[in-house]
Copies of this chain bind each other. A is one copy, B any other.
Amino acid sequence: MSSSAVNDDTLFLGIDGGGTKCRSCLVTASGDVIGEGLAGPANPNHGGLNKAIPSITDAAEQALVAAGYTRKDFNRVVVCAALAGVNIPSTFNAMKEWQHPFADWYVTTDLHGACLGAHGGHDGAVIVCGTGSCGFVNVKGRSELFGGHGFHLGDKGSGAWLGLEAVKAVLEAYDGLAPATVLTEAVKSEFGVSGLDIVERLNKASSSEFASLAPSIFAAADSGDAVAISIVQDGASYIDALARKLLAMNPPRFSMIGGISAPLKKWLSVEVAEKVEPPLEQPELGAIHYAKECYSAKTAEMIA
């Protein structure tokens, strides 16, 4: 789809797309950041391509406009979108085959983008633990993804998982089938409901709503609430196992990102916790590292 060669005029755009927002970053061939954008949700596995693609083009246009370009310049930009949801094969293929308006178009997982960003474009491993949870390792051209199975079937240890387990525990306590817990007050405070009204209020609640309970769950665990401690320990033991799986592949660096990572760290084993290093760059810059890598390989092949 591209006919451009790698030259100083080539622009690279990185997209980091998730279930709530989509960030973009535009850089020159020499690596200067010249524009950024922020648009709506871009997880093509939730809401479909019809929702993800406008977010992507919106974020892309914002970054171009910030740099003094317009939508007409889409065809001179090499884009990599690092997206949530494309770990599902059919979703990946649908996004990859999109008839894009750009000079070139690459798709990878949000985790791959986050991992490349966290380690400045180099090998490493990340755990993303926010509303959802998953792990990714990228070493010597080999990458592996663990978890990321979504709110209903997995995402153990994530904010949404912690929130759901807390709500279940509160309902069991209400029935007198499990110990009383201060989480009952936390649910009441967060959602304004108790008893059976909890079912009505949260029956169809989103993962983000459940995740909003996470800070209260950590607070309850810190205050010594046995139910909260048990839930946090259960989630942390999964994240710990995930980290060990990643570290077994000897990544040169390991980072944890996402809103739950900081409060979760003290619940991890010392061996895992002491290996955590801060992320170096944002995921959208990680997507740019990938776009440059793929595009260089492609143009080198075209020249050869």
B203, A150: Cβ atoms under 8 Å?
yes
A242 CB-CB contact with B under 8 Å = yes
Establish whether residues A200 and B90, one from each chain, have CB atoms under 8 Å apart when the complex forms.
yes
Residue-wise, chain A 130-155 has the 8 Å CB interface mask toward B (1 for contact) of 00000000000000001101101110
A293 interface residue (CB < 8 Å to B): no
Partner of A197, one of B89, B168, B241: B89
Q: Do A199 and B242 touch (CB < 8 A)?
A: no
A277 interface residue per 8 A CB criterion:
no
A202 CA to B154 CA, complexed, in Å? 12
- Contact-residue bracket for chain A: 20 to 34
Minimal Cβ-Cβ distance residue in B for A87: B196
Q: Is the C-beta of A198 less than 8 angstroms from some C-beta in chain B?
A: yes
Chain A contacts to B: CB under 8 angstroms: 45, 87-91, 146-147, 149-150, 152-154, 156, 164, 167-168, 171-172, 175-177, 196-200, 202-204, 238, 241-242, 245
- Extra contacts besides A150-B203, A154-B171 (14): CB < 8 Å: A87-B196, A89-B196, A91-B200, A147-B177, A149-B199, A152-B203, A152-B204, A153-B167, A153-B171, A153-B199, A156-B168, A156-B172, A177-B241, A177-B245
* Cβ contacts A to B, 20 pairs, < 8 Å: A87-B196, A88-B199, A146-B175, A146-B176, A147-B177, A149-B199, A150-B203, A152-B164, A152-B203, A152-B204, A153-B164, A153-B198, A153-B199, A154-B172, A156-B168, A156-B172, A172-B238, A175-B242, A177-B238, A177-B242
